[in-house]
Amino acid sequence: MTAAPTDTLAPHAIDVRYLDEALLVLDKPAGLLSVPGRGADKQDCLAARVQARYPDALVVHRLDMDTSGLMLMARGTAAQRALSKAFAARAVSKRYIAVVAGTLSPPQDEWGTIDLPLICDWSNRPRQVVDFANGKPSLTRWRVLAHDEAGVSTRVELEPVTGRSHQLRVHLAALGHPILGDPLYAPPQACAQAGRLLLHAWHLRIPHPLGGRELAFERPAPF
């Protein structure tokens, strides 16, 4: 597999995929923080860029810095509360595309599940680890989309049922098939196979915070 290029980050650029009086749907590039981090060098982020243009925009959920794809922001506190409740009730559906190391065999049914509890590895933050004694329940649905002809990688679709930090990355690594380009969970050889983390939030389905009508958005993976 050829290495995927890193996303180009134009200063202060945002890619708005949908906009109305209650919400924004954005395409976050890989390499950009979702929200500000600690330190003056970590203040540039998608939320800050959006709020500079739409001051009423509020964070509802996040994507890892190295993950690209669809991210939602609310406009105003009422919309934020409604969308936060939808996330808590698992009324929001998110699906991701990833490319993982090796040949991952398809599950017996079309979709398989990874049910492994996760907890922060406090001595190695921000890493997360599987911990059956103290971890929080974490569930991922997955299916195989295609195999690389050389047997080097597998393209998969992922659906996080829960929303733990780094959940998809840890779960795939625990299967023995880390996501290519992952600097935290992939061994050096798999990390070096891509110029970025090959994980992209491609599909988002939500109930609209005003009235509840269902909206669906798609953004194909750039790799």
pLDDT in tens, 69-104: 999 999 999 999 999 999 999 999 999 999 999 999
**pLDDT score recorded for residue 139:** 98
Say which amino acid occupies 22.
A
Q: Look at residue 203 and tell me if it is in a domain.
A: yes
Q: Look at residue 143 and tell me if it is in a domain.
A: yes
C-alpha–C-alpha distance, residues 150 and 163, integer Å: 33
Residue 82 domain boundaries: 16-218
The answer to whether residue 203 scores a pLDDT higher than 60 is yes
Domain count, the chain: 1
Q: Look at residue 10 and tell me if it is in a domain.
A: no
2: pLDDT confidence band, cut at 50, 70 and 90? very low
C-alpha–C-alpha distance, residues 152 and 100, integer Å: 9
Q: Which residues of 119-148 are buried (b: 16+ CB within 10 A; e: fewer)?
A: bbeeeeeeebbeeeeebeebbbbbebeebe
Q: Look at residue 58 and tell me if it is in a domain.
A: yes
Identify the CA nearest to 179 among candidates 102, 82, 83.
Answer: 102
Among residues 27, 44, 64, 131, the one annotated as catalytic is: 64
C-alpha–C-alpha distance, residues 66 and 136, integer Å: 23
Q: Look at residue 223 and tell me if it is in a domain.
A: no
Q: Look at residue 3 and tell me if it is in a domain.
A: no
Q: Look at residue 5 and tell me if it is in a domain.
A: no
The answer to whether residue 156 scores a pLDDT higher than 50 is yes
64 as an active site residue: the answer is yes
Average pLDDT over residues 156-185: 97
For CA atoms 216, 4, 128, 32, give the dihedral sign: negative
Q: Look at residue 85 and tell me if it is in a domain.
A: yes
Q: What CATH code is carried by the domain that includes residue 58?
A: 3.30.2350.10
C-alpha–C-alpha distance, residues 107 and 116, integer Å: 16
CB-based contact 155:192 (threshold 8 Å): no
